[in-house]
Structure formats: structure tokens, C-alpha cells
Amino acid sequence: MATVAAKMRRALLLLKPLDVYPPRTATSSKVLRYLDDRCRVHKETINHCTSIIEKRFPQWQLVMRNDLSQSIRHFDLVITVGGDGTLLKASHFIDDSVPVLGVNSDPTNSLEVEELSQEFDATRSTGYLCAATRANFEQVLDEVLAGKKTPTELSRVSLKINGAKVPTFALNDILMAHPCPASVSRFSFRIKKECGETSHLINCRSSGLRVSTATGSTAAMQSAGGIPMHISMPDLQYMVREPIMPRELDIPLMHGFIKPEDRMVISWYSQEGMVYIDGSHVYYKIKHGDEAEVASDAPVLKVFLPSSLLA
């Protein structure tokens, strides 16, 4: 156990900034107090985690997630404090060599949500991928350092556009769509198998195409009617969003799975297009005639997960 702790000497503490909270323009004093309380709790969690990290790591560095712009290297552990958004941001700068431990700085209180549901949305951070909170951070970190916790390897989506690799890997999903959500997207795709076989070409007019990992299958994919997958599954799941009058032959392939050894090839036929990675902040422009290739051959992300996700 001492050997594991000795190997983890350098930690990066990545924080959700405080300015992500809404500006103080609400007219309700209860809403204002609620927003102030969210900032206070987040600050207290940061201070608590920092005081523990100072004692456990000879070398550590604090970075706000908005300031992250280069690959994360020369660290033995990344600790994110915020929610899933902060962990997702970290994942875009990490390969498969550095594990991540997420701390949910302000977990949702279900009783509070119910009590305030008729006044405003009191939902806090989801923290689906976060193994720790302020309450148990010290215990969880010590278990990591003692080798009692093992990170789970999560599949990610790799993307090529016109044969060029996109440097960002998606932990949750990618969405290919027109930049205007009211516009129709026109594209075609087929699944190419490792053995050389391919599905027939599916031509689509729809609001876009989403491809998710198992991690992302319980997010937007599930909301759209997709199938939740166990987080350890290496397959990708895809869904054509709101297809317009698909051929009867194509209907079974509007939603399906991409095996780890296979890939999806998409041809884009709208004048404009975007490929969004894990939400709206990371995106790549595409245009008529461009070809994209999606697969699950990206480096895995090593994450210390909550035990509830491993059952």
C-alpha cells in the first residue's frame, strides 16, 4: 500500500469556477439566498479538498477548468472539484496514463428539490461520475493512495474528419447536426465491419445524429429513447434524431450499436454542420461533402467511479 502512495506524488486539482453561477438578477430573495449558498458550499468544498491535498502530495497544482488549454502531463492523479462538467473538461486533456478522481462539490438534495419545485429549480450538481463528496473526500482519497480503489477504464469516441484525427475524444457523446437547431440535417452513413462487410447506405434527413459511449448512454441518449448501457461496455450507441420519413428498409438502422472493432462512416450533405463533443463547448465545423468516421478506438479514460456504477 505504501508503494502506491509513493508513486502518487504529483496531483492536479482542477476546479469549477465560481462565475458559472447565474448573475444576481433574480427578484426573489429566496433565489438570491439559494445562489449565494451554492457559491458558499462550492468554496467550502474547494478549501476542504485543498487542505487535505496539501498533506497528501509533495507536489500539487491548482487550475481553474476555464484556464486548461494544454495536455495534462507529469501528474500522477487529477482531482476535479465541481461536477460531471469539470470531469468532462479534464477528460479532453488526458490520455490513458493519468487517472481521475471526481469530487461533487454540491450534490443535489432531493428533499430540497421537492420542497422548492413550485418556486424554482433547486437541482444542484449531478456528479454521476464523481466518486467523492466533501463529506467522504479524505476517506476516498486515502483508499486511492492505499491501492484499495482501482480506476475503471471508460471507452471514448474517436473522430476523424476527412481522414484527419480530431484531437479531442468524447467521453459522453458526439452530436452531428446543423448549427441552427431548426434546420434539417442531411447526411448518410453506413457501418463498416472489421471483416470488410458494410451495412447498406442509410440516407437521412433529420435533426442530426448522436453517437454515445456507455458512459453517455444514460444522458442525452437515454432522454431521446436510447438504451442505458453498463458503464464498462466498450460498444458505442447511435441514434438518428427525429428522422423525417425514413425508408422502411432503413428504420431498423435509425438506432443501433457500433462494436469496438467496427466504425461508422458519415457523409455530410448540408451546406453547414457542426460536430459537438460532450456538449456545446467543443465543436468542429463541417461542410457539404465532408466525411466523418466514428469509432471507439480512442485511448480509454481511467476514472475512480462511485461503487454504485460498478454493480
Render pLDDT for 193-251 as a digit per residue (tens, 0 to 9). 988 889 999 999 999 999 999 999 999 999 999 999 999 999 999 999 999 999 999 99
From the candidates 19, 37, 67, 84, give the one annotated as an active-site residue: 84
- What is the overall mean pLDDT for the chain? 93
For residue 15, pLDDT over 60 is answered with yes
- What are the tens digits of pLDDT across the range 261-306? 999 999 999 999 999 999 999 999 999 999 999 999 999 999 999 9
Residue 31 confidence class, pLDDT cut points 50, 70, 90: confident
- The pLDDT value recorded for residue 3 is 46
Q: When comparing pLDDT for 87 and 22, which is higher? A: 87
Is-catalytic flag, 84?
Answer: yes
Please state the pTM of the whole predicted model.
0.92
For residue 34, pLDDT over 90 is answered with no
Domain limits, the chain = 10-154+302-309, 157-295
- The pLDDT value recorded for residue 23 is 58
3-state helix/strand/coil string of the chain? CHHHHHHCCEEEEEECCHHHCCCCCCCCHHHHHHHHHHHHHHHHHHHHHHHHHHHHCCEEEEEEHHHCCCCCCCCCEEEEEECHHHHHHHHCCCCCCCCEEEEECCECCHHHHHHHCCCCCCCCECCCCCCEECCCHHHHHHHHHCCCCCCEEECCEEEEECCEECCCCECCEEEEECCCCCCCEEEEEEEECCCCCECCCEEEEECEEEEECCHHHHCHHHHCCCCCCCCCCCCEEEEEECCCCCCCCCHHHCEEEECCCCEEEEEECCCEEEEEECCCCEEEEEECCCEEEEECCCCCEEEECCHHHCC
Q: Classify domain 10-154+302-309 by CATH number.
A: 3.40.50
For residue 1, pLDDT over 60 is answered with no
Residue 166 confidence class, pLDDT cut points 50, 70, 90: very high
Fold of 157-295: Tumour Suppressor Smad4 (2.60.200)
- The pLDDT value recorded for residue 2 is 45
